[in-house]
């Protein structure tokens, strides 16, 4: 807690002293455009991780925090507007991203161990290089929560594993109980069975057509062979008759 307070005080002092220390770095149109360009490079992502003891936690990682930027991060419960905060604002500068050798990485990771609540992390990016105090970039990332209902017996069926209520981690809230979800799954499985019946019926039609086509091709082949044999026989007969006529004339 003391470390957070010290960091906030440092950031406030930097902002207060910024116009004096960097008088040449005023918030001109060009400088602000440059600051916005840098701020746009700041991104974030979450990752679900598991410890050796089987427990889960979620990390929120922020990237591209340069010496010229500082980032404010806070989380709120749920996705509704004006949701209550679940954490105090955290202020991050490049010096907070040092690796083991003391070099800034520009990457800062927050570990969230609350798997029972969906949270929205809001990230505000400001500049330290120019005397521009407003937020240059604001974006958010939604941290999922563990869905205990995904462990009910109905969610173990193969055809509903992708069903929204059976997802192990969810980023949207639903108000159904386990019994309500089981009923919804039964309806979904009935829909899936209807689809499969339709598909199988279509498959049978295709099989019948393919069988008929094979019979037709066989009959056509037999006809072609029969006609070919008939033509050969006719040619032999014609040749024999021509030969016979010529022999009779010689006599």
pLDDT (tens digit, 9 = 90+) per residue, 167-190? Answer: 899 998 888 888 888 888 888 778
The SS3 of residue 81 is coil
Instruction: Identify the pLDDT of residue 185.
Output: 83
Q: Choose among 173, 194, 201: nearest CA to 186.
A: 194
Q: Choose among 49, 42, 139, 45: nearest CA to 92.
A: 42
d(CA 225, CA 222): 5
CA 119 to chain centre: 19
Averaged pLDDT, 191-206: 61
The larger pLDDT score, comparing residue 6 to residue 161, is at 161
H or E stretch covering 154: none
Instruction: Identify the pLDDT of residue 120.
Output: 94
CB of 48 within 8 A of CB of 58?
yes
The larger pLDDT score, comparing residue 161 to residue 59, is at 59
- The highest-confidence range among 31-45, 177-191, 200-214, by mean pLDDT, is 31-45
CA dihedral for 220, 221, 225, 228, sign (positive or negative): positive
Q: Which two tokens stand for residue 234?
A: 């006719």
Q: Which two tokens stand for residue 89?
A: 């604002």
- pLDDT over 50 at 19, yes or no: no
Name the band, by pLDDT with cuts 50, 70 and 90, for residue 247.
low
- pLDDT over 90 at 153, yes or no: no
Averaged pLDDT, 118-122: 94
- pLDDT over 70 at 17, yes or no: no
Q: Which two tokens stand for residue 11?
A: 């950031």
Instruction: Identify the pLDDT of residue 225.
Output: 86
CB of 136 within 8 A of CB of 128?
no
Sorted by sequence, the CB contacts under 8 Å of residue 52 that are 6+ apart come out as: none
């Amino acid at each position: 807690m003391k470390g957070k307070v010290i960091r906030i005080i440092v950031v406030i002092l930097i902002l207060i002293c910024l116009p004096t220390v960097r008088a040449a770095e005023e918030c001109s149109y060009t400088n602000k455009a440059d600051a916005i360009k840098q701020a746009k490079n700041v991104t974030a992502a979450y990752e679900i991780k598991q410890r050796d003891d089987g427990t889960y936690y979620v990390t929120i990682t922020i990237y591209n925090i340069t010496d010229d930027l500082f980032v404010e991060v806070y989380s709120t419960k749920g996705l509704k507007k004006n949701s209550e905060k679940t954490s105090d604002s955290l202020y991050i500068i490049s010096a907070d991203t040092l690796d083991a050798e003391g070099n800034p990485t520009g990457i800062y990771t927050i570990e969230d161990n609350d798997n029972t609540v969906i949270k929205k992390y809001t990230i505000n990016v400001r500049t330290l290089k120019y005397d521009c105090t407003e937020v240059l970039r604001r974006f958010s990332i939604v941290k999922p929560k563990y869905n205990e209902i995904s462990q009910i017996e109905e969610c173990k069926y193969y055809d509903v594993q992708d069903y929204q209520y059976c997802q192990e981690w969810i980023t949207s809230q639903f108000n159904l109980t386990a019994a309500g979800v089981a009923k919804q799954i039964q309806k979904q499985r009935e829909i899936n069975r209807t689809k499969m019946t339709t598909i199988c019926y279509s498959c049978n039609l295709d099989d019948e057509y393919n069988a008929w086509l094979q019979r037709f091709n066989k009959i056509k082949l037999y006809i072609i062979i029969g006609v070919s044999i008939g033509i050969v026989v006719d040619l032999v007969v014609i040749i024999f008759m021509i030969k016979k006529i010529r022999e009779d004339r010689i006599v």
